[in-house]
Every structure is written in C-alpha cells, then in structure tokens.
A and B are shown apart, each in its own frame.
Chain A
Amino acid sequence: MIRSWSPVVARERVAEETFWLEFDAPEIAEQAAPGQFVMVGFGASSWGTPFLPRPNSVAAAPDGRVGLLIRVYGAGSRRISELALGERVLLLGPLGTRFELGDARNVLCIAGGVGLAPFLLLPRWLDRQGREANLRLLYGERVGAVVFNPEKIQEIAGIEADIWTEDGSRGSRGTVLDGTGLDGADLVLSCGPTAMLKAVRSLARTAGVPCQLAVEEHMACGMGTCIGCAIPTIDPETGEDVYSLVCTEGPVFAAERLRW
C-alpha cells in the first residue's frame, strides 16, 4: 500500500458532470489491478470538505499515472473534479480486491455509469500480464449526455464499448441488460448501481455462469481500520450471515456471497 501526495497531470471534462483525471503516482500505477481503488484525499490539516478521502476505482495506469473517472455526486466528488493541474492530493492505494479472471476465455464486462472505471483498466492490464481473453464490454447510462466518449474509451482502454442509454440518445436504446445474451461468456464481471448488479447476478445465475461484482459502500479509511464499509454477505465456509468490508474483502465479490 502506497501513500503519496500526487499532482494532477491531466484533467478533462468528458461528459456532463463527468471528469477524467490523471495523477502522477508511479508506484500505485505499477501495482494497481482492475477492481482495485485509491482513496483520494486532502490530508488531515484541511478540514474543509472533504475531510475524509473518497474511494475511486483505478481506471487507467499509463506511464506511471493513475487515471480516475469521476462523476460529480456530492461535495467531495465535486472538489476532486475541480482540481487544477499541478494541485496535489493524498492518494492511498492500491486498495481492495481485484477481478479474478482465472482461466476464463470469454469475459463479459457489464458497466453501469462510472462503474465503467475498472473495465477501462482491465484490457491493458491483461496485456501487461501477458494474459489473453476475449473481452466484451457493455456500458450503460441513463441519458446520452453523461456517456463517456467512445473514442476516449478506445484510446484509454483499447476496447470498443457497446453503449446503451435508457433514452436512446446514444448507442442502443434500453439498459445494458437488454444487450445481454450471455452468449458464450464463461465469466461475467460487473460494476455499477446496485439494482443493475442484482439483475446481472440473476442473469448469470440462471445461465450458470460465474459472476463477480464490484460494489460500493461509504468508507472512511479504505484499509480495514474503521469497519465502516461493511455490507451483508454470506460466509463462504460456514454459510452464516455475516458482514464483509468492501475495502479489504471487496470491492470485488463473488456474486453468490452478497446478501441483497
């Protein structure tokens, strides 16, 4: 785990309320794997908002940089989205678990909103590992205005996204699930709103395809000390109802462990 005050080296508004930021943080970039996240904070001495750091998935790791896809949600993500070039933030990471591909050959990635982030890292990360797999990426948003530009996705991730919007103003009309014939997939990975993750899980379960989901919960430390980001899960050994920490036991969980 690395702690570093890292400057913003690139910043771009990529869609409505959505920003692409890159930080100079070579050690984190080197270690980060898809699904893992960094805590983005401002240190303990500034007690404006945010005081606590905010979790964000590592979305790219080119040339010693950590790329993040930030959607403005409240005051903290707004502050992060407004960072100026050269301004430093305190990064802590990489944290959490990653998607485990095992020996899957055909991997279906289903992203909702900024749940796209880990799947932007995935293709190049696999290349770096010398690992081959056929990736198919479905990316859904509610409306066209917030869709992350497909050319930029291609540039960052080297992958084509199959885009779905509920209003049909970009890509196909409907939700990502309308595009999901699991055809041939031997692994499903997903990240996005909980309602979508639940639907993905039942699809995968029906098809008998293994499924891993990256989930979110409020966090303070990101490293297991505050025990704040617990979500209800099933203990894989005992079958008991327990809680698991999204920061250290997740954010990526085998779908069947989640107790929703």
Chain B
Amino acid sequence: MVDLSQELFGTTFQNPVLLASGTCGYGEEYSDLIAVDELGGIVTKAVTPERRLGNPPTRISETPAGMINAIGLANVGLDGFKREKLPWIREHLSRAKVLVNVAGRSVEDFVGVVEGLEDEDGFLGYEINVSCPNVEGGTMFGTDELSLAQLVAALRRATRRPLVVKLTPNVAEIGNFARICEENGADGLSTINTFPGMLIDVETRRPVIGNVTGGISGPAIKPMGVFATWKATSRVEIPIIGIGGICNARDALEYILAGASLVQIGTAMFADPFTAPDTIRGLREICERQGVTRAADLVGALEVR
C-alpha cells in the first residue's frame, strides 16, 4: 500500500494533488463530476476586497499546448465569498485542504481580505497571488523585491494560518524572490503563476484577448515551471507547491522530484475534469511499480548527476 500523504503546514494532506486557483472555482463547480473531498485540496479563485466584474471579452483562447487568459480577477469579493462560497466549502470539504487565494492592489487590500477571513473556519490558509499590479508602486508585487517583502511581512503580522506566496515566473532570478518570502515569514511557496503573453489575430490585426495581454498556462509552460520549482527549492527551507502544465502523474512527479511537496493542476482540468483524480491514481501506480512506499520520500529526490 502506497502512502501518498504529505505532512506540511502543521497538517496532513491526504495526497499531494490540489486544484489550482482560478481553474476550479470554489470547488462546488466540479462536485457534480468528481469527488472533490478526495483530492489533496483546492485553491479558490482569487478573493479581492470588493466584488470584481473582471475584464471585457475575449478573456481566453487556446495557444500551442495551452491557453492564454485575462480574466481580470473576476470574483465575488470578500463578503460574497463568506456569504455564498465558504458555506459550501465548510459543509463539503473536510479531508481536502482549502487555501484561499488572495489578490489586491495594495498591501491594505491583501491584509483586509486576510483579516476579514481570520475568524472564519472551513479553510486551512492563504495563497497570496502577487502577480497583481501594485497601484502604489506601478509594478507587480511579485516582480519588485521591496514591495514583496513589505507585503509578506504585513500579511505575516495579520495571520497565524499557513501563508503561502504564489510566485510569478516573470523575474530574472526566482530564487531571490523565494528567499524574500521566507525571510519575511511565509510558510510556503507556490511556483508558478502564468507567463505573460500575447496572441494576435492576423486578419483583424488586433489582439485576440480583450485585455491585449494575458497569462499563458498549460503543458507549454511545464518545463519552465519545473525549472522555477527546482531553482526555488535550492534557496529556501519552506515547502513548495509545484504548478504549471501538469496533465498526469508523470508531470506531477517531475515537480515532486524537483522539490515540490504538493502540486496543483489548473488548465488540464479544462481539458478533462478527471485529470486530478486520474493523477492521484497514477501517482499510486508509479510508486507501486517503483517500489516506493511513501510518496513523501520522492520530494526533491532528483539526482542531478
């Protein structure tokens, strides 16, 4: 019998497979099709202080081996999340762990969401989406070392729950950003968010995406996600959640071998909602075949030479 569980953030994940933010709604959306509570967990759509309507169409399109999206963080907002979404999560997810993805445009936005959720139960902790523009600084939190440090430190003061920072790959040296998060009190990291990209309709000579630019996800970004995960784990002690293009157990294992304790599946769930349960089953099969009894032993087991 293979043990797929992972101990981290002071709790046990029954297996390492989570659904990525923005690709699983708030869990309920998939509950018709898959047993969401059998997963390692889910990460909610980003929650911002106020409800956000999001970007104008077109918001998504297919790109080679993946997709581009510019949803614009459309979400129900903090109050909407507490009123409309959290009750379902609380009632239906007891074994799958829930991270609430938090987004904002200022440190106050992020802290406001976290403080607004502190007294609620039904979720484990936060995943902080720093791929948002900082209205004060102009750059993204996740690409500016100083604003990232200030943000993480402020959030650390605001919560004792697990605080996971989701890094953008759009930086020269992701290890530096990983270090900054750890030094300022983050409990874990998620690598990676989407890559910035564009898609142009050559007939109309216009961008396909209403927002002009968007984020690229899916199998196309998997090698870069594995690389970012590997770079980040070499610089920090805190656990890492590997994300980007995972379509099956072999993909998930690449991230785990590179150092990820958990993984998240996003875009591939659109291609087939069974991807996550199939990945869990596949991990078990590969471990059995390789004579591995505890999947946790594979974390960072990459042999470079």
Contacts and interface: CB of A to CB of B under 8 A. Distances in A.
Interface of A: 1, 3, 41-45, 47-53, 76, 90, 92, 217-221, 223-232, 242-243
B85 to A, nearest CB: 13
Interface residues of B, number: 38
Contacts of A51: 62, 65-67, 218-219, 267, 271
Contacts of B32: 1
B53 A243 contact: yes
B91 to A, nearest CB: 19
27 contacts: A3-B274, A41-B271, A42-B271, A44-B248, A44-B272, A47-B218, A51-B67, A52-B270, A52-B271, A92-B273, A217-B57, A218-B59, A221-B23, A221-B270, A221-B273, A224-B25, A224-B29, A225-B23, A225-B30, A226-B60, A227-B22, A227-B54, A227-B71, A230-B57, A230-B59, A242-B53, A243-B53
Given A217-B58, A221-B273, 20 more contacts: A3-B33, A3-B274, A43-B272, A49-B62, A49-B64, A51-B65, A51-B219, A218-B57, A218-B61, A220-B60, A223-B29, A224-B29, A225-B24, A226-B23, A226-B71, A228-B71, A229-B57, A242-B53, A243-B54, A243-B74
A162 to B, nearest CB: 32
A47 B29 contact: no
A220 B67 CA distance: 9
Nearest to A224: B29
A163 to B, nearest CB: 28
Nearest to A221: B270
B22 A226 contact: yes
A148 B269 CA distance: 35
Contacts of B271: 41-44, 51-53, 90
Interface of B: 22-25, 29-30, 32-33, 45, 53-54, 56-62, 64-67, 69, 71, 74, 218-219, 247-248, 267-275
B280 to A, nearest CB: 14
B251 to A, nearest CB: 10
- Most chain B CB inside 10 Å of its own CB: which residue of A43, A51, A223: A51
A151 B271 CA distance: 36
What are the 7 closest A-B residue pairs judged by CB atoms, nearest first?
A228-B60, A44-B271, A44-B268, A220-B270, A47-B219, A225-B25, A44-B272
A227 B29 CA distance: 11
A232 B57 CA distance: 8
A44 B246 CA distance: 9
A92 B69 CA distance: 22
Contacts of B67: 51-52, 220
B59 to A, nearest CB: 5
Contacts of A229: 57, 59-60
B62 A47 contact: no
B23 A230 contact: no
Contacts of A218: 57-61
